[in-house]
Every structure is written in structure tokens, then in C-alpha cells.
Chain A
Amino acid sequence: MSDPAPLTTDDPGQVASATPPARGRSRGLSDRGLAVAFISPALLLLLAMSVFPLLWALYLSFTDYSATRGGPAHFLWFGNYTAILTSAQVHQRALTTLIYVIGAVGLQTVLGFAIAYLISRRTHGRGLLTTLFLVPMMLSPVVVGLFWRFMLDAQFGVINSMLGSLGLGQVEWLTRQRTALVSLIVVDTWQWTPFIMLIALAGLTAVPKYLYEAASIDRASEWFRFRNITLPLVWPLLLIAVLFRAIEAFRLFDLVYILTSGGPGVSTETLSFHVYKVAFLGFNTGTASAYGILMVLVVIVLTQFYLRYLNKLKEG
């Protein structure tokens, strides 16, 4: 794809031609110079806006610095880290996050794949259906969070209203410990099922038709076809979607902030939300930074997995 030796490709086109070379001696920039000139601005921006802050956070994570108190920072070395990793509070937040990630991503995967499968079997109106199903994913988390808060309201929320008219009891969706986490999972599922659906649909439409034709000549059952043709071919793509969603769900913040603010109690307080509380309500900047670094590590490990599967997929 790319040119082999970047340093030596410079010589061939020196011959005279319609457009004369712009610069006298060496046709302007060499390939290498061009690569540097084109890549470095982007990298510089990333260094300034991502790496530098992260290094700063790394430094702060070893100190007891507080953004409000100001003053000099004292080194604690790994004090913050051990405090976090041994804190029962953090363990609970980790458990909440885990329940939420597994619950939401699991639900999304099943639902998203089911919808994609149903759509892929339709012959008419596929485009319309796909587009309609995609609407939730496009909305801002703020809009989604606010709107579900309204719909889940215990008094005048439409969900309870519908439950009532079905003769079922009222549920205090966002104000009871257990249901609040369920609500969070439901809302996240509502917003992100389309994501899984979209990717699964891409996989399903890419399954070569002749495989099905061959199978139907063999009078293979519907289940057999699904199990042995559809699923294996869609699986890698689906896995990527799941990994992607897991990373996103792991770092979820905005929806929690809008929908429940971590409450009631701390029942919906995910790790991300806890970092925010430590940093901006407790102003323990040092602790929050250590916390953040740990989360980044988790994300990097997940990203590695993601990329590895991606490469496998591309080779396979």
C-alpha cells in the first residue's frame, strides 16, 4: 500500500515536464519532510491536550494536591493508589460499574442482534426501519437522560402511567436503590442497542447468499443455518461491537450525572462518577488523579484487546 523506502523515492520524476518543479533544487519537501509536516501538527495537539494533562495527572496522583486548597503538593508516592485499591467504597463502585456494564452491554447485544436479524430477513422497508431504529443513538446523552428522567418520574411519568392503566403497581424508578440501577441499564440499553444493531446488520448483510442457497439445497433447518452460517460469520464483528460498548460503558459519566446523580444513596455511582465526586466535590485532586490513572490503565488494556481482535478479523 505505502511506498517502500521513504527516503529514496525522491529522484525519479526530475525529468522536465509541463509543470516545472516548484522549488529549484529539490522539488520542495522530501517525502519524509512531508510526512513530518503533515503528521506533527496533529500529534502536537494530542500531546498538548491529552498526553500533557495525563502526565500532569500522573504527577499529581503521587501527591496530596488539592485544587481548592492550593499550596504546595506533598509527595505521597503510592499512598493514593493503595488507598484506592484497598478502599471498600471503591470496591463497591467497581461492583456497581461491573453490574451496569455487564447488564447493559449484555442486554444491548441480545436485543441489537435480534433486531438486526429480524431486519435482515425483511425484504421491504429495510432502510426506513434501520434509520428509525438508529435515532436513539444519535441523541445527546443529556437529551436522553433528561427525557427518561421525565418518563420515569414516579408521579406523572408516562411509564408509571402506562403500568397503572395495565393494572400494575407503580414503580419508584429513580428513587429506589435497586430500581435506579435497573433504570440506568434500561436507558443505556435504549440508547445503545442501535449501535449493536447497526454493526450486526452490517455483518448479516455481508454473509454471502450462496451459503444459504447451498444450505437450503441440503434442506438444512433454519436453526442449522443460523448456527452454522450466520453466527460464525457475524460473530467477530459482533465481538468488536461488544468490546467497543464495554469500553464506552465503563467510562460512562454523563448519563449517570443527568439521570440519577449517582443516587439514591450511592446505588448508581459508577467509577467515573466517583472520580468526579472525589475531584470536584471533595477536591482531592491527587486522589482523583490516581483514580483516573487506574481507569486509563483499564481502558488501555481493553483497547489492546479490541485492536487485537480487529487485526485478527482483518487477517481472517
Chain B
Amino acid sequence: MAVSVDEAVSTGPAPDHTPPTRRLGGRGRSVLEVALLTVLAVVMLFPVLWMIETSIKENRDVYAIPAEFFGFTVTLDHYKDVFVSPDGGRSALSVAFLNSVVVAGVSTVLATVLGVPAAWAYSRFAVKARKDQLFFILSTRFMPPVVVVVPIFLMYRQVGLIDSKLGLILIYAAFNVPFTIWMMKGFVDEVPSEYEDAAMLDGYTRLQAFWKFTLPLLVPGIAATAVFALIFSWNEFVFAIFLTSSDNVRTAPPAIAGLIGGTTVDWGLVAAASVVFALPVLVFAYLVRKHLVAGVTLGAVRR
């Protein structure tokens, strides 16, 4: 998955990071470090590899005791089961995947459309109590979801948004707006406001200056921010499980979790569904690798 990624970060820092005056033991230490790193990498990646391996095993190999690492028969049946139901129609899982695409996509667009202009305004104007506003915005993001979900549940029940995609879209957008504002504010800060001033001297209005000069410069930042919002909505589970109940609304995370409801668990299917579900995220994460630090810290820390 994330294997062809080498050039990404490695080209950055100059290669002579290790000081030249390596005395005695330098080589031995280096070998030890490489060994340690390899062990750690194997440990960290093993679960992922095991998941992929399980997804292509036949059932009797999945439950083999002791576990079979090699020499099992490869099958793609589990992947077929992810998309096709036993009676030939579309499986509930594939419907859930589609729901995830819709919900994550629309909520991301919404958060971007609301968040980017707000970030620009916070960056450019002396808004009243700006710091307090920004802190308030950030704090909504830090609220424990399980706490918010109770009143949201009651509220949605009142207005009929329970078990609807719109309900999920709204709550995801609300959860992503703080992130979008914080991260985008960083990007806007990097664009000199003089560009807009110059444009305004040429007779453009402030709005036109934003639209024609600043916004195009922000496009890479917007893309990165949107991808993070997308990943968050895609992976979200708590709201998804408590605010939806029917198969045609439910997104993928609760649907995948639902696979372990019965007495016997089809782990091969779980693995295959997990792999299919994780693939887009890994692709997206690869696309925004340069902004990872800013993204995972809500843009508060930049590299």
C-alpha cells in the first residue's frame, strides 16, 4: 500500500546528518540501530500484514492452530463477499461503503466552504476577541464525542434527523470546521496580506482581492485540509453508530463493527472489509504527507 513512497520525505534533509567524527564503535552502533529499527518496523507493521494475509486466506486457514504464516491457499472469496451478498445482490457492506463516500464527501465540502472563508477573515481582520473565538472553536473539537452524542441524539430525535445521512453530514461538518479554520488560518497567514492591499489599490474590492488573488494561492492548503477532514469523517465511529440504525444509512465503520455481532465471526470477511476500507485512507494520507504534522495537530504546529 504505502510502499512506493520513498522519495517523499527522504529528499528533504541533507544526507550528512551523522557527524563525521564517528569514533570507535560507530559502525557497531550503527548496525545496532538499524537492527533495532528493523525490529520496530516489523512489530508495527505486522498487524497490517496479518490483516492483509487473513483477508486472502480460506476459512480453515484463518482459524488454523497454530497460525499459518505461509503455505496457505490464496483466495479472493472474502473480497467478493464484501461487495456481493450471498443471494447475488449488493451486499450491505457495499451499501455502507457508498454511504461513507457520500457522508464523508459532502461533510468535507461543507466544512471547507464554511471554514476557509472564516479562516481568511480571522487571519486578515482584527475581529473582536479573536483569540477567545479561536479558542472556543478549538475547544468544540476537543469535546469527548460520547458526551456530545447524548444531547445530539435527543436533538436529532426532535427534528427528525435521527438515522439520516444529513444528520451525520451536519455533525461531521461541525466537527471538521474547527480543524479547517485552524489549519487554514496557518496557510492564510503565510500569504502576505500586501497582495490584497495591492489589488485593492488597483480598484478591486476586498472580496475580489480575496477571490482572485489569495484564494488561488491557498488551493494546495485547501486540498490538504480537505483530505484531513475527509479522513476524519471516513474513520469516524461514535456518531455513526449512535445516530444511525438502518442499513441504507449506516456508514462503513459501524457496518464493519456489526460483522462481529453474531456467535461466530467471519474474520476473513472482517479482514477483507477492513483492507478495502483502509485503502482510500492510506492513499489520501500519502497525498498529504507533507502536511501530516500540521494536519494531525489541527494545524497548530507546523513543520
CB of B196 to closest CB in A, whole Å: 9
* Chain A interface SS verdict (over half): helix
CA separation between A54 and B171, bound complex, in Å?
Answer: 13
Give 14 new A-B contacts, CB below 8 A, not counting A16-B203, A21-B205, A139-B278: A3-B126, A39-B117, A46-B137, A67-B154, A119-B37, A125-B10, A142-B253, A143-B51, A147-B271, A147-B274, A199-B296, A199-B301, A251-B147, A257-B241
CA separation between A168 and B150, bound complex, in Å?
Answer: 45
Query: Does A216 lie at the interface of the complex (its beta carbon under 8 Å from any beta carbon of B)?
Result: yes
How would residues 134 to 146 of chain B score, 1 for a CB under 8 Å from any chain A CB and 0 otherwise?
A: 0111111011111
Residues in chain B near residue A179, CB distance under 8 A = none
Query: Does A38 lie at the interface of the complex (its beta carbon under 8 Å from any beta carbon of B)?
Result: yes
11 pairs of residues in contact across A and B, judged by CB atoms under 8 Å: A31-B125, A39-B122, A50-B140, A52-B151, A127-B7, A140-B237, A142-B237, A213-B19, A291-B147, A307-B135, A307-B138
| 4 cross-chain pairs, A with B, having the tightest CB-CB distances, nearest first | A17-B203, A292-B147, A49-B174, A127-B10
Residues in chain B near residue A257, CB distance under 8 A = 237, 241, 257
Across the interface, do A5 and B292 meet the contact criterion of CB distance under 8 Å?
no
> Contact residues of B with A, CB < 8 Å?
1-3, 5-21, 33-34, 36-37, 40-41, 44-45, 47-48, 50-51, 54, 62-67, 114-115, 117-118, 120-127, 133, 135-140, 142-148, 150-155, 170-171, 173-175, 177-178, 181, 189, 193, 200-208, 231, 234-235, 237-238, 241-242, 253-254, 256-257, 259-260, 265, 267, 270-271, 274, 277-278, 281-282, 285-286, 289, 292-293, 296-297, 300-301, 303
CB of B227 to closest CB in A, whole Å: 11
How would residues 250 to 293 of chain A score, 1 for a CB under 8 Å from any chain B CB and 0 otherwise?
A: 11011001100000000000001101100110000100110111
Q: Which residue of A lies closest to B285 (CB)?
A: A138
Across the interface, do A296 and B207 meet the contact criterion of CB distance under 8 Å?
no
Query: Does A98 lie at the interface of the complex (its beta carbon under 8 Å from any beta carbon of B)?
Result: no
Across the interface, do B51 and A209 meet the contact criterion of CB distance under 8 Å?
no
Across the interface, do A156 and B63 meet the contact criterion of CB distance under 8 Å?
yes
Residues in chain A near residue B10, CB distance under 8 A = 124-128
Residue from A28, A139, A273, A288 in contact with B207 in the complex, judged by beta carbons closer than 8 Å: A28
CB of B191 to closest CB in A, whole Å: 10
* Chain B interface SS verdict (over half): helix
> Contact residues of A with B, CB < 8 Å?
1-6, 12-13, 15-22, 27-29, 31-32, 34-35, 37-39, 41-43, 45-46, 48-54, 56-57, 60, 67, 111, 114-115, 118-143, 145-151, 155-158, 161-162, 164-165, 190, 193-195, 198-199, 202, 205-206, 209, 212-213, 216, 219, 237, 240-241, 244, 247, 250-251, 253-254, 257-258, 272-273, 275-276, 279-280, 285, 288-289, 291-293, 295-296, 299-300, 302-303, 307, 310
Across the interface, do A18 and B205 meet the contact criterion of CB distance under 8 Å?
no
Residue from A50, A56, A127, A155 in contact with B11 in the complex, judged by beta carbons closer than 8 Å: A127
Residues in chain B near residue A213, CB distance under 8 A = 19
Residues in chain A near residue B152, CB distance under 8 A = 49, 53
Across the interface, do B17 and A253 meet the contact criterion of CB distance under 8 Å?
no
Residue from A5, A119, A205, A212 in contact with B19 in the complex, judged by beta carbons closer than 8 Å: A212
CA separation between A130 and B171, bound complex, in Å?
Answer: 32
CA separation between A142 and B146, bound complex, in Å?
Answer: 15
CA separation between A148 and B48, bound complex, in Å?
Answer: 10
Across the interface, do A28 and B2 meet the contact criterion of CB distance under 8 Å?
no
Residue from B54, B117, B282 in contact with A150 in the complex, judged by beta carbons closer than 8 Å: B54
CB of A193 to closest CB in B, whole Å: 7
CB of B302 to closest CB in A, whole Å: 9
CB of B239 to closest CB in A, whole Å: 10
Across the interface, do A45 and B154 meet the contact criterion of CB distance under 8 Å?
no
Across the interface, do A199 and B293 meet the contact criterion of CB distance under 8 Å?
yes
Q: Which residue of B lies closest to A60 (CB)?
A: B151
Residues in chain A near residue B155, CB distance under 8 A = 52-53, 56
Across the interface, do B19 and A156 meet the contact criterion of CB distance under 8 Å?
no
Residue from A125, A133, A237, A293 in contact with B6 in the complex, judged by beta carbons closer than 8 Å: A125
Using A39-B127, A289-B150 as known contacts, say yes or no to A121 and B17 having CB atoms under 8 A apart. Answer: yes
CA separation between A94 and B136, bound complex, in Å?
Answer: 26
Residue from B174, B274, B278 in contact with A46 in the complex, judged by beta carbons closer than 8 Å: B174
CA separation between A111 and B36, bound complex, in Å?
Answer: 12
Residues in chain B near residue A145, CB distance under 8 A = 257
